[in-house]
Amino acid sequence: MFLPANIDLAQTEKYTLSIRLIPDGFSFSIHCPTDKDIFCYKTTSFNNNLSYFENIKKLIFDFEFFTQPFKTTRVSVVSKEYTLVPEIFYEEKKAKDIFDFNITTKNETVLSDKVAENNFYVLFSMDDRLHSFLFRSLWNPIFTHHISQLLFYFSGHHNKTKEKRCYVNFHENLMDVCCFSQNKLLSANTFPINDKPNALYFIVGVWEKLPLNQSTDRLYLTGNTDSQKETVDTLKKLIKKVEILPFSPDITVPKEEISSVPLDVKIQLCE
């Protein structure tokens, strides 16, 4: 695995390492908060002969730089299984009970990620062995869920408008649908979209359930929208106010290098 020449692994304490765990793969990024020229994003496929845990363990051992002392080491879990708990009802000792009430877990560690701007916690889980291994192997890792970054960004976007806002983020074989009324979160869900018609079905379902107004409320589409062209075209016929929401982090790397980077990773680059 080759890293850009301007990343000096003898000075990892200057960089932020972000590891992203997706259901069937692994990606990571390295960037320097004080140097906009330093950024790389890499993805890797897994060996089908190994388990998910064994694949990640092999990667960490094969590429020793993962275990070095970075300025910040973040591990982001990408999944559709999470629960949102308002801060007023959150108790750390009851987090697992709350999570298990909504989502069945087996041999998993339940983690929490606070979204301060919205005053709630995201509860999510990780395989016990994987969590223990990463906690031991990485340098002071911070465990987060990908939806936390999105909620932070979406809640602050055009939050003074009176119209309700629905944000749809396409990535991998998943789709995040987050809805707001000003800065108040109405709903947040992540759906599997292995089949393209599924995306339209889930989006329309959310609009009908809340409900949202097809004439006055706004729909923002982001992420890998090119992979859902038919869905986007149909949504523009059903909903009056539809926009593609671009996001350009403040880094000086070619557009082609950043275009494939997931939105939650791009948001981290602005911290």
**In this predicted structure, what is the pLDDT of residue 2?**
80
11 within domain boundaries = no
pLDDT digits (tens, 9 = 90+) for 219-270: 999 999 999 999 999 999 999 999 999 988 878 877 777 888 999 999 998 8
250 within domain boundaries = no
- 175 is in which domain, residue-wise? 158-244
**In this predicted structure, what is the pLDDT of residue 1?**
67
179 within domain boundaries = yes
- What CATH number is attached to the domain comprising 239? 3.30.420.260
73 within domain boundaries = no
- Quote the number of domains for the chain: 1
Q: Mean pLDDT over all residues of the chain?
A: 94
Average pLDDT of the segment spanning 46-74: 95
- State yes or no: cis peptide before 211, omega within 30 of 0: yes
Q: In terms of pLDDT, which residue wins out, 256 or 128?
A: 128
pLDDT digits (tens, 9 = 90+) for 130-139: 999 999 999 9
Residues of the chain with pLDDT > 90, as a percent, come to 84
20 within domain boundaries = no
227 within domain boundaries = yes
44 within domain boundaries = no
Cα separation, 106 vs 210, in Å, equals: 32
268 within domain boundaries = no
pLDDT digits (tens, 9 = 90+) for 172-210: 999 999 999 998 999 999 999 987 789 999 999 999 999
